[in-house]
Copies of this chain bind each other. A is one copy, B any other.
């Protein structure tokens, strides 16, 4: 082991799965680790939709980064947003919430900043159709879902009532599918018999997907099962459709043949795409690294940036062999990057083996007792899929207390259909009365 007077400085950008697993791999190394994140919490993103739907509380899926890393004595956390990298001087510039700039010198840099929601150039959609990447997003969606039923209950007329009772999801990946299932469950079970003017069970849930399958990444067999389960739950699937417009009262979609249709819906949720945050572009400019279309950084097989063996990119923002943006990939690549730094610190000269992703499977929860799980040769759906889903998520939920709390919340939610976390805040400027715009071109849907 090398003898350092000042320990080697490792800066990790991002406290998600990749950043956390990198820090963990360095736990026993004589290095000084700095984890930089613009949030003070580590988010268990795979369960974010359960926070949005009121099953889990914020604290159950978001744990303070400092708490998670409390026993890592070589780690310090900095609450700031990385804005630039000076690859020559080996310096990260980061902005504190207060506006000040922090400069963080590094010997090794591990980039694990993740991806953010993309509206494919239609940023104006964001105001009407929130994404689902942050805790803020989840609470916004929770508020929109439960508010919609309240607004429907006191709606001035049938047309408005119908719009409040229609929920549109854009994107047929796991998040879109999971949210669609959750909203149908809330409408049919959670809110059962709570309203007098409306029957919440009549709420329409529309799922729009550009390709011809939902959960395409799970393979045709499970994708087919997912379609059947969603239809059984009452979700209306619109495959092969592109959203061309969204406003406060609905959205317009176009099918493969160019036909447009307008759907009235006061709640539109967007899970259709992701893009790299600005720091990825800054890193590319600083190092000459290439980015893919969504802005991911192309890396070498050892996850380093070409020409910069001291910079490693991990997790969702890493582009390597078209690996998907899954928690599993983030954990494994983060741990790999941490181990690589450890090997350098320990003075090993042999080049590390290339990063190899071991696919432990993917899972999507559709509704109570129904999930699809793909694990190697194993394809599970229905109840067996759901049990596998339960096991996988319990195994990975960070921290014992979260795990216990989640089991309890799930037990109650699954046994009684009720959801504890339904409180939402209505601001005075909420749900403006604004008139519905004149339909742009297409006639209303049948």
Residues of B within 8 A of A135 (CB): 423, 425
Q: Roughly how many angstroms separate A195 CA and B40 CA in the complex, as a whole number?
A: 12
**Contact (A59, B153) CB under 8 Å given A98-B433, A430-B97, A433-B100:** no
Q: Is A154 an interface residue (CB 8 A)?
A: yes
* A327, CB-defined interface residue at 8 Å: no
For A419, the closest partner residue in chain B by CB is B59
A423 touches B154 (CB 8 A): no
Q: How many copies does the complex hold?
A: 2
Among listed A13-21, A74-82, A372-380, interface-contacting one = A74-82
* Chain B CB within 8 A of A383 CB: no
B98 touching A432 by the CB < 8 A rule?
yes
With contacts A100-B433, A154-B102, A431-B97 taken as known, whether A40 is within 8 angstroms of B412 at the C-beta atoms is no
Q: Is the CB of A153 within 8 A of B79?
A: yes
Nearest residue in B to A134 (C-beta to C-beta)? B425
Q: Are A97 and B57 in contact (CB under 8 A)?
A: no
Residue of B nearest to A58 (CB): B423
Using A40-B426, A79-B154, A98-B151 as known contacts, say yes or no to A195 and B420 having CB atoms under 8 A apart: no
The answer to the question of A64 belonging to the interface, with a C-beta cut-off of 8 Å to chain B, is yes
Contact between A80 and B154 (Cβ–Cβ < 8 Å)?
A: yes
Q: Please, which residue of chain B has its CB at the minimum distance from the CB of A143?
A: B40
| Interface assignment of A442: CB less than 8 Å from any CB of chain B | no
* Min distance, Cβ A147 to any Cβ of chain B, angstroms: 7
| Chain A 49-88: CB-based contact to B (< 8 A → 1; otherwise 0) | 0000010011110111011001000001011100000000
Alpha-carbon separation in the docked complex, A191 to B66 (Å): 9
- Which residues of chain B are near A424, meaning CB under 8 Å? 40-41
In the bound complex, CA of A170 to CA of B196 (Å): 44
Q: Chain A, 171-206, contact with B by CB distance < 8 Å: what is the 0/1 string?
A: 000000000000000000001011110000000000
Residues of B within 8 A of A423 (CB): 40-41, 58-59, 62-64, 135
Is A119's beta carbon under 8 Å from chain B? Answer: no
Most buried by B among A150, A151, A195, A401: A150
Asked if A40 contacts B433 (CB within 8 A), the reply is no
Does A96 belong to the interface (CB within 8 Å)?
yes
A208 to chain B, nearest CB (A): 25
Whether B154 and A67, one on each chain, are in contact in the complex, defined by CB atoms closer than 8 angstroms, is no
Q: Which of B38, B67, B418 contacts A422 (CB 8 A)?
A: B67
Q: Are B422 and A150 in contact (CB under 8 A)?
A: no
Pairwise interchain contact B426-A401, C-beta atoms closer than 8 A: no
Residues in B with CB closer than 8 Å to A405 are 408, 420
| Chain B positions within 8 Å of A89 at CB level | none
Q: A57-B59, A433-B98 are in contact. Are A67 and B418 (CB under 8 A)?
A: yes
A405-B420, A422-B41, A425-B135 given as contacts; is B97 within 8 A of A195 (CB)?
no
Residue A347 is within 8 A (CB to CB) of chain B in the complex: no
The distance in angstroms between the C-alpha atoms of A427 and B154, with both chains bound, is 32
Which single member of B67, B195, B425 contacts A136 (CB below 8 Å)? B425
**Residues in A lying within 8 Å of B, measured CB to CB:** 38-41, 54, 57-60, 62-64, 66-67, 70, 76, 78-80, 96-100, 102, 134-136, 139, 146-147, 150-151, 153-154, 156, 191, 193-196, 401-402, 405, 408, 412, 418-427, 430-433
6 contacts between A and B (CB under 8 A): A40-B426, A67-B194, A80-B154, A98-B151, A401-B412, A401-B420
Which 3 pairs show the lowest CB-CB distances between chains A and B? A99-B433, A57-B57, A62-B423
